Structure 1
Amino acid sequence: MAQSTVKQKIQWIENGGITSPKGFQAGGLHCGLRKQKLDLGWVYSDVPGNAAGVYTTNLFQAAPLKVTQDSLNQEQKLQGIVINSAIANACTGEQGLLDAYEMRKVFSEKIGIPQHYAAVASTGLIGEMLPMDKIKGGIAEIGEPEHDGADKFETAILTTDTKEKAVAVKVWIDEKEITIGGAAKGSGMIHPNMATMLSFVTTDAQVEANALSTALKRITNKSFNMITVDGDTSTNDMVLVLANGKAENSILSEEHPEWETFYEGLATVCELLAKEIARDGEGATKLITVKVTGAVSDEAASAISKAIISSNLVKTAIHGSDANWGRIITAIGYSGQPLDPNKVGVSLGTIPVVENGLPVTFSEDEAKEYLLQDEVVLCVTFQDGVGEATAWGCDLSYDYVKINASYRT
């Protein structure tokens, strides 16, 4: 089935999120890790479901990730996730790992599931120990009606984010309505390979575990791993997907005739969350999309698009609404990918500025007016093959420095 036809079957759910799929509950509360804001969130399913995860490539992998991987390695199933903000529980040694396991134990006992059906996540300051008395006190309050709700969960997981990030879609498979929802956090230290971001995706579809894992990895490489804010890859971050099967469809795998429908639904949720993270970059005023076509391969197109979106000079030019296409060309050149410089084209939206490697006459006023918008698309074309990729990022503003210069204070 053509991809465009499949995407037409995906229906957006207004105000949807992580509890839109059947059988999922979520909540958030203030347990004292932050001065006033919510800082402990959770999501759980009525029944255990097949699950998959993708994790940061940073060598200093935080304790919660190790505990979550331990859970998934046992049965590839999860039923609940508990998350704290404010403190990352990273670079905390053996005690930090013990605390993450204790957090899993207390949470699993509270909601009545086996310990290895629980995942743990943390985000915030690196190098500080978790105040476990506050964590335990917060977990003890899970289930109190005033703490329930996806909106509270979305807020509790934030750090320097300026807004909550949530989305949900539905598709029909085996004549069953299947819902896929998600929530995410991320604003700074965002770069490829699971940077400072957490994303949690839920679905009531019944999906074979290995197929779910393979799909998540492929989708991550085209969504979360294609965003950048500042080039920093963090210690804590991951994407988790949990499929509880309550839609009662026949089990999905790559052999299922409607697998592509589910795959595109999952991809849509991940891409939308990834774009929201890029849009909400620390101090950001604009979402930048880089579209590369005609490269020698998809891998080359990906590397080129990431080189452009990661360039501080490109990001500052966009912030200043400066049509400095030379910075785009420079980033293409140092991407290290095979290309013919004499067949490169660059456009700012629909305004061509480079054709066949040479500048073309364009209206600076028209270009500036375009770049003043809060969403900017940079299009780069080659004549070297059929490779294509899209990357997302944001401009680099004065406020980014202000936010990060006083992060601890």
Structure 2
Amino acid sequence: MYSNIHMPKGFKCAGVSAGIKLGGAKDMALILSDFPATAAGVFTQNQVCAAPVKVCRAHLEHGVARAIVMNSGIANACTGSEGMVAVRDMAAETAKIIGCEPQEIFVCSTGRIGPQLPLDKIVPGIGTLFESALIEHVQETAEAMMTTDTRPKVSVAQLQIEGRAVKIVGFAKGAGMIEPNMATMLSYITTDAAVERHAFQNALKKAVDASFNRISIDGDQSTNDTVLALANGASGVKTLDESSDDWDAFSRALEKVCFELAMMIVHDGEGADKFVTVNVAGAVSDADADQAARSVANSMLNKTAWAGTTPNWGRIMDAVGYSLARVEEEKVGVFYDDAQVVAGGVRTDIAVEELIKVVSQTDFAINIDLHLGDGAATVYTCNCTEEYVRINY
């Protein structure tokens, strides 16, 4: 799928099987920069967070990175002091091979919460990753990141800065435990642009807010959410910051990559077969619109109705009403795509067959107008089928 995609200049990557997962599936990945790279990161807001998240937050203070090493299959969350030792050992082993400081290594994990990492498999796996790291091993890297994902997720953007080609390549994994403020998802963004550290952090946060923080699959926030971005300057362009002429173009490209990856995550939602966009307009503020949109998107009653192609608009009204948004029932309008089912808080005379036609599509929108102000927000979500239960019981 991604065999023709190469990493940006100065980056290599790899994905291998270290024996963490049964059956020989790839379960370790490496992203390596030939040069010290400026680092930016955004992490889970869950008060219970995995050992690698704690270490990555600390390493981000250093601001420079040489590599990201990760495992899938075991989350290394709720593992106490032993889990922290495992993360530091992974960073130290990777740093020893590169010849850099351990704080220049970011370590990530994803998978089941609770078990300890098998360092007897992971340490040799790190060596195997370095032996196989190449600029073209994008497919293998994306595959190694997967847990319940059904397919790897990669996005690419290219642009010209100062007459030079600049490239951004992003990876992501995630299919369940996905709720705004990120989820059991990992994403790594690499670019051969040179970017000033604080500007890079601000740009990444803005891109995440418009992408990974706009999605929900099941309303569950994870312990391991991590988005990391590395910029190594190998393209030869001058260092970009918010005053640079090309800053807007770079920021848009970064946002594009993050948004495309976020949409891939929703389309690959565990057991899902419908992609649903929830738009709320007319709120007293953007924050209120966000509350209403999340409430509708996270409602299991709505998700199961969409799975059953049932246009149960009452569940939408209910979810809007119990959200923290200000709502005046007699002003609310609800649309399935362009088909209006609620006007002034009550049902219209639209034929139910027209609504069923909309919710039978694999991609549709729920559009809600609160008629109270100019606030607006969008959340991207999916339905919930019996298969979601089978995956997660």
Give the conservation status (yes or no) of the 8 Å contact 1:17–1:181: no
Match of 1:362 in 2: 350
CA contact (8 A) 1:19 1:26 kept: no
Q: Distance in 2 between matches of 1:330 and 1:210?
A: 42
Deviation at 1:159, TM superposition (A): 0.7
The reply on whether 1:374 has 2:362 as its aligned counterpart is yes
Say which of 95, 101, 104 aligns to 2:82: 95
The one-letter amino acid of 1:59's match is: Q
Residues 243-322 of structure 1 aligned to structure 2 (within 5 Å): 243-322=231-310
Q: Which amino acid aligns with 2:112?
A: L
Task: Describe the SS at the equivalent of 2:48.
Answer: coil
* Residues 1:119 and 2:106 are matched in the alignment: yes
The Cα offsets for residues 101-145 of structure 1, whole Å up to 9 and x where unpaired, read as: 000111122233322211000011111111101001111112334
Instruction: Give the one of 218, 225, 235 matched to 1:237.
Output: 225
One-letter amino acid of the structure 2 residue matched with residue 202 of structure 1: T
Q: Does 2:84 correspond to 1:81?
A: no
Equivalent residue for 1:384, pick from 362, 366, 372: 372
Number of residue equivalences: 391
User: Which residue in 2 is equivalent to 1:203?
Assistant: 191
Corresponding position of 1:6: none
Q: How many angstroms apart in 1 are the aligned matches of 2:3 and 2:44?
A: 27
- C-alpha displacement at 1:363, in angstroms? 2.6
Q: 326, 329, 337: which one pairs with 1:341?
A: 329
Q: Deviations over 1:351-372 (max 9, x none)?
A: 1112232322223222212211
1 CA distance for matches of 2:105 and 2:223?
A: 20
Q: CA–CA distance in 1 between the matches of 2:140 and 2:223? A: 25
Q: Give the secondary structure class of the aligned counterpart of 1:123.
A: strand
Checking the alignment, whether the CA contact within 8 Å between 1:296 and 1:339 is kept in structure 2 is no
The runs of 5 or more residues in structure 1 that have no matched partner are 1-13
The aligned counterpart of 2:52 is: 64
The residue aligned with 1:329 is 317
TM-score by length of 2: 0.95
Q: Is the 8 A contact 2:3 2:139 kept in 1?
A: no
Tell me, what secondary structure is at the counterpart of 1:192? coil
Alignment-derived partner of residue 3 in structure 1: none
Q: 2:364 is aligned with what amino acid? A: V
Which amino acid is the alignment partner of residue 116 of structure 1?
Q
Q: Give distance in 1, aligned partners of 2:241 and 2:291.
A: 30
Q: Does 1:24 align with 2:11?
A: yes
Is residue 50–residue 75 contact of structure 2 (8 Å, CA) maintained in 1? yes
Code of the residue aligned with 1:392 in structure 2: it is Y
Per-residue CA distance 1:320-372 (angstroms, 9 max, x = gap): 11111111111111111123333322111121112232322223222212211
Matches of 1:375 and 1:55, distance apart in 2: 29
Of residues 259-268 and 83-92 in structure 1, the stretch that sits farther from structure 2 once superposed is 259-268
Asked if the contact 1:295/1:382 (under 8 Å) is kept, the reply is yes
Q: What is the distance in 2 between the residues matched to 1:339 and 1:146?
A: 54
CA contact (8 A) 1:16 1:168 kept: no
User: How much does 1:83 deviate?
Assistant: 0.6
CA distance in 1 between counterparts of 2:175 and 2:390 reads: 14
Distance in 2 between the 1:19 and 1:296 partners? 46
Asked whether the 8 Å contact 2:274–2:361 carries over to 1, the reply is yes
Amino acid at match of 2:358: Y
TM-score normalised over the length of structure 1: 0.91
Structure 1 SS opposite 2:76: coil
Q: CA RMSD in A?
A: 1.9
2:292 is matched by which residue type in structure 1? I
- Residue range with higher mean Cα deviation, 395-404 or 384-393: 384-393
Question: Once the two structures are superposed, what CA deviation does each residue of 1:25-77 show, in whole Å capped at 9, x if it has no partner?
Answer: 11111111011200011111121111111111111211111221222112x11
Q: Which moves more between the two structures, 145-154 or 180-189?
A: 145-154
Contact kept in structure 2, 1:18 and 1:200, CA below 8 Å: no
Counterpart CA distance in 1 for 2:331 and 2:4 is 44
Partner deviation per Cα, 1:199-229 (whole Å, 9 max, x = no partner)? 1111122111111111222222221122111
Q: Which amino acid aligns with 2:280?
A: V
Structure 2 unaligned regions, length at least 5: none
2:179 paired with 1:194: no
Letter in 1 for 2:80: G
- Sequence identity of aligned pairs in percent? 41
